[in-house]
Every structure is written in structure tokens, then in C-alpha cells.
Amino acid sequence: MTLNPADPRTAAASGMARFLGRIAPDETIAVAAHFDADGLAAAAILTRALRTAGRTAEPVIVGKAQTPWDEDFAGRLRGLNPGGLILADLGTRAEPVLAGTPTLIVDHHRPTGTPPDAVTLSGHALDPEPTSALIAWWATTALGDQSDLLWLAALGLIGDMAEAAGFPELAEAQSRWGKTALRDAVSLVNAPRRTAAADAGPALRLLLAGDGPKAITRGEGPDVQALAAAKAEVRDAVEAARRVPPRIAGDVALLLFSSPCQIHPLIAQQWRGRLRDKIVIAANSGYRPGWVHFATRSATGRDLLAFLAEHRPDGADGRYGNGHAQATGGALPVEIWNRFVTGLGIVEAQVAP
């Protein structure tokens, strides 16, 4: 389950070898991934390494408010008729996504169950904790030398704020490709998933083709332009939402706003720094009609997964309270959201149905 802490690199590579041993060489491997920098970088590493090794690999990225456990996404995967499935940076749950299909899980979120018949490469609870892209890179060393793809693993580490974790792979990538170029590339790759359309296509294409971060930061063409436009769209949305005042009840500070952009994690992060003794909940009623999506952060060090579990409203499903002890959140239908904020003592944060 969790990678062997004594030697996670070898454990990841042997997990990949075990997974590939269950798939005929001519069968397609679907590579499903989250749409943030870590997920996209993991998808690019896995797809590129598998293709170089002569395998057929197809990346499939989740859309806005979508998980692989939703039927429409599973349908997209089935359309590829895959002989194997990789789930990267998408969480670790007990339920299979494609029952009967050999599955490899590359992830670092807190598992909510043990998937049957899957090889699970989980970095959760390792110290330091590797991100999905780094675990993917370790795993693909089973297919040969991957040093030219190391910059992609660095994008994942930086994107998930693991820059200070001390992984030697990051130091090596920084000296080869440049700290600033890597950081700027992360900021660009992370932008589209926060926009109203949340189209990860341009970023993924750049990561699949590029030879380093400068292919993104200094590149030309429509995909690079799309990333710059996405950054501008998100910047404007953040500018509007940051003026909203917090509503405070006890040790909770809640910010409620409405935007089609996924800016709630950014707003939560900003207020985390300003209200250092509070649990900050940044809630967005405009991300998806009929729902409230929210991000929870705190400078207090409290276990936020435990906090949300204590306040779990009846009817909340797997979209509520996942992720990390220090970075979580969720999505609730408006009616359940209204019960949740009432329970927190912040009735005025109810949303009209």
C-alpha cells in the first residue's frame, strides 16, 4: 500500500513491473490523472515513458468537478478498451474504477480504502512525502533511464508545495533546468484548471512534447497563449473575490463568494496567512450550479480532515473532506451546504437554492 519507506524508489519501480506483467504488450494503457501540475506531470511522465518503451498509452484528464468514479469518466476510459489502467494523483479509494481491469494507483492523498486487485504506489505518510509526479518518475525507472523526464517530476513537487521537502531529484532538476523556469512553468501549467472551462488540453500537450520548462515559459503557439490567457482570467477572478470579508464563528472563518473559476483554494490560502488562529473555509457558490465547492486551510496545524469529519453533514458523499490534513475541502449540494454552515453557527453563509 504505502511505498516501503526504507526504499520507496525501488518499491515504486517493482510495483510498475508487477502491473505491466499483467498487461499484454499490444494492449492500451489508459493513464487517468488529475488536472493540476502534479497530476498532469505524472500523466506526462507515465505516458512518455510507456510510449518510449513501446507500449500504447493514452492520457485521460478529469474535467471540472469530475472524478474517475463518475460514470461519464469511466465511460471515456472504457472507450479506449484498455488492457490496463493507471490512476495518477486522483486519490485512493476502495471502489475500482474499471472492475476487472489491472490497475496501478500512483497517489499521495490519504487513502480512504484499499482498492482490490490494484498495485498501489502511495506516498501518503512517507517522510518526506513524495508527490504523484515523483512517484510516477520512480515507477517508470522500471522501463529504463528517465533522466530527461526529471523536470516533469520537479513540476509536480513544486506544484504541490514540496519544494522544501529535500528530495535530491528536485535539486538535480533545478540545477539542470533552472529554479525560476521550473517555478514559472508550474504557475502556467496550473492556471487552466482554475478557469471556468478548466481545459487541461493545452498544458498536457506542452508537457507531452516539451524538453524542459522553457518549452512552456518561452514557447510560442496557441497552447502557450492559452496558458497565458488562463492566468489572466484567474487573476481577475481572485482580485474580485479577495474583497469579500470573512464571517467568523468561534475558531472558523468563512469566506463566501461566487465565481466560475476554481479560486477557492487560492482565497483560502491567502486568508490562512491573515487569520493565523482560525480554520479558514473559502466557499464558492458559482463553480458549479447547485453546489458549493470549498477549500479549507489553517495555520493552526489542526488536522482539517478530522475537523471536517466532526462536522460532516448528513448526505455528504465522497466529495466531502478528502485530501490532506493541512489542505482539504469538498463539494456539497446547496441544501446540504446550508445544513453544514448552520452546524458551524454561520447561518448567514447559507446559499439560496
* Residues 81, 60: Cα–Cα separation, whole Å: 13
Decide: residue 191, CB within 10 A, 0-12 exposed, 13-18 middle, 19+ buried: buried
* Residues 131, 185: Cα–Cα separation, whole Å: 17
* Residues 315, 74: Cα–Cα separation, whole Å: 23
Nearer to Mn ion, 87 or 341 (CB): 87
Nearer to Mn ion, 160 or 169 (CB): 160
Q: How far apart are CB 239 and Mn ion at their closest, in Å?
A: 27
| 285: amino acid identity, one letter | S
**Residue partners of 124: CB distance under 8 A and separation at least 6:** 2, 92, 107, 108, 109, 110, 111
Nearer to Mn ion, 123 or 202 (CB): 123
- Which span sits near Mn ion by CB under 5 A: 31-39, 137-145, 227-235, 339-347? 31-39
What does the block give as the cell for 279?
A: 480554520
Q: Is 38 in the site for Mn ion (CB under 5 A)?
A: yes
Q: Is 223 in the site for Mn ion (CB under 5 A)?
A: no
Q: How far apart are CB 89 and Mn ion at their closest, in Å?
A: 4
Residues 160-199 that bind Mn ion (CB under 5 A): 160
Q: Are 347 and 341 in contact (CB under 8 A)?
A: yes
Q: How far apart are CB 263 and Mn ion at their closest, in Å?
A: 19
Q: How far apart are CB 38 and Mn ion at their closest, in Å?
A: 3
Angle between helix 37-52 and helix 179-190 axes, rounded to 10 deg: 100
Q: How far is CA 276 from the centre of its chain?
A: 25
Residues 105-144 that bind Mn ion (CB under 5 A): 131-132
Instruction: Tell me which of 12, 67, 89, 181 binds Mn ion, using CB under 5 A.
Output: 89
**Residue partners of 4: CB distance under 8 A and separation at least 6:** 10, 11
Residues 148-167 that bind Mn ion (CB under 5 A): 160
| 120: amino acid identity, one letter | T
Nearer to Mn ion, 70 or 129 (CB): 129
Nearer to Mn ion, 63 or 323 (CB): 323
Angle between helix 222-241 and helix 179-190 axes, rounded to 10 deg: 70
Q: How far apart are CB 36 and Mn ion at their closest, in Å?
A: 6
Q: How far apart are CB 108 and Mn ion at their closest, in Å?
A: 6
Nearer to Mn ion, 156 or 212 (CB): 156
Nearer to Mn ion, 47 or 132 (CB): 132
* Residues 213, 206: Cα–Cα separation, whole Å: 9
For residue 279, the SS3 value is: strand
* Residues 275, 341: Cα–Cα separation, whole Å: 19
Nearer to Mn ion, 131 or 298 (CB): 131
Give residue number: closest CB to Mn ion.
38
Q: How far apart are CB 39 and Mn ion at their closest, in Å?
A: 6
Q: How far apart are CB 289 and Mn ion at their closest, in Å?
A: 27
Count of chain residues binding Mn ion (CB under 5 A): 5
Positions in the binding site for Mn ion (CB under 5 A): 38, 89, 131-132, 160
